[in-house]
A = this chain, B = another copy of it.
Amino acid sequence: MKKYNVAVVGATGAVGREMLKILEERDFPFDNLKLLASERSEGKKLTCKGEEYVVEATTPESFEGVDIALFSAGGGVSKKFAPEAAKRGAVVVDNSSAWRMDPEAPLVVPEVNPEDIFKHKGIIANPNCSTIQMVAALKPIYDKVGIDRIVVSTYQAVSGTGKAAIDELRDQAKAILASEKAESNVYPYQIAFNVLPHIDIFFDDGYTKEEMKMVNETQKIMGDDSIKVTATAARVPVVYGHAEAVNIETKEKLTVSEAKELLDNAPGVRVVDKPEELAYPMQIDAESTDDVLVGRIREDNTIEKGLNLWIVANNLRKGAALNTIQIAERLIEG
């Protein structure tokens, strides 16, 4: 079996560390592994498959001889270094938002549009976490009956922001429980015991960038600009896992039992929907699974062809590191 020279850029971050775990868990066939990060992290040691690796500062030359470069170091780093890696023959799978809407970069969820992987020109983009889990769950429905319109409200975990946000939530919760003042540095307001209807920057029309990612990325991944999506993205005081209340209008009628059967047979999707046993998807259950969990599937009788669903996934794994590595796996399968 062919083995590959792999680089992980942003190896010391929350998603980067998750990538190392997943490369090990899935026994990704790498020959050499290069861990890259900012100068600040240079010299740090991390392990993967029992080997210790020393983190190096990222330079254009870091990518000499690299076959696959997995990026998760923010949009700025990706903008700067992904072309350098591609120029040197690496295929970049980038977890930032930098290349997602670039017409030359495929935007891929392997369960949805694996064929797009092979249209790359050196850079493949990994979608936004909240989009990945939604399209993974909706694809089987889309294929069967078509989808006209999606109304989605998100309940997103702080780990999507990074390690500092996890610490902030915990520190704030501790302070508030001790009747002390909670300090906000990562978010503009207290996130512990609160909900922020605000993720990423605001545009002039009042939508946030996170909300527009769900609109634009869904259309690009599905390869269908006619799918209408309107989103409200909110941050909840949860550490791991994003939840989404999703209302869809399909082109043809789909009953709840048909939807459950479709989703039961969909790759990467697990139906958790037995209300009589109080079984429904929850973020605490997403911590330990790679599946996209779908439940609370209900007919929406306010329209002729409508469904409500509750979709939950681990935002650091399926929403980021896992999807990135699944793209790389498909790429080398060819």
Contact = CB atoms under 8 A, between A and B. Distances in A.
A247 B206 contact: no
Counting every copy of the chain, the complex holds 2
B198 A300 contact: no
A56 interface: no
A206 B243 contact: no
A206 B216 CA distance: 31
Interface in A245-268: 245, 247, 256
Contacts of A1: none
Contacts of A230: 247, 300-302, 306, 308
Nearest to A275: B202
A99 interface: no
B234 A283 contact: no
Contacts of A194: 238, 282-284
A190 B297 contact: no
A118 interface: no
A8 B41 CA distance: 63
Contact of A155 (B190, B234, B275): B234
Interface string A198-220: 10001001110000000000000
A173 interface: yes
A151 B300 CA distance: 10
A91 interface: no
A161 interface: no
Contacts of A278: 188-189, 198, 202
A301 B243 CA distance: 24
A296 B232 contact: yes
Contacts of A202: 275-276, 278
A53 interface: no
A5 interface: no
A174 interface: yes
A195 B243 contact: yes
Nearest to A207: B298
Q: Of residues A193, A275, A300, which shows the largest number of chain B Cβ atoms within 10 Å of its Cβ?
A: A193
A310 B232 contact: yes
A57 interface: no
Interface of A: 149, 151, 153, 155, 169-170, 173-174, 177, 188-190, 193-198, 202, 205-207, 228-230, 232, 234, 236-239, 243, 245, 247, 256, 273, 275-276, 278, 280-284, 295-303, 306, 308, 310
Enumerate the 7 nearest inter-chain pairs by beta-carbon distance, A residue then B residue, closest first: A228-B302, A153-B153, A153-B245, A202-B275, A232-B245, A206-B298, A230-B300
Given A194-B283, A198-B280, 18 more contacts: A151-B302, A153-B153, A155-B155, A155-B234, A169-B193, A173-B177, A188-B278, A195-B283, A205-B298, A206-B297, A206-B299, A228-B303, A230-B301, A232-B245, A232-B247, A234-B245, A236-B237, A237-B237
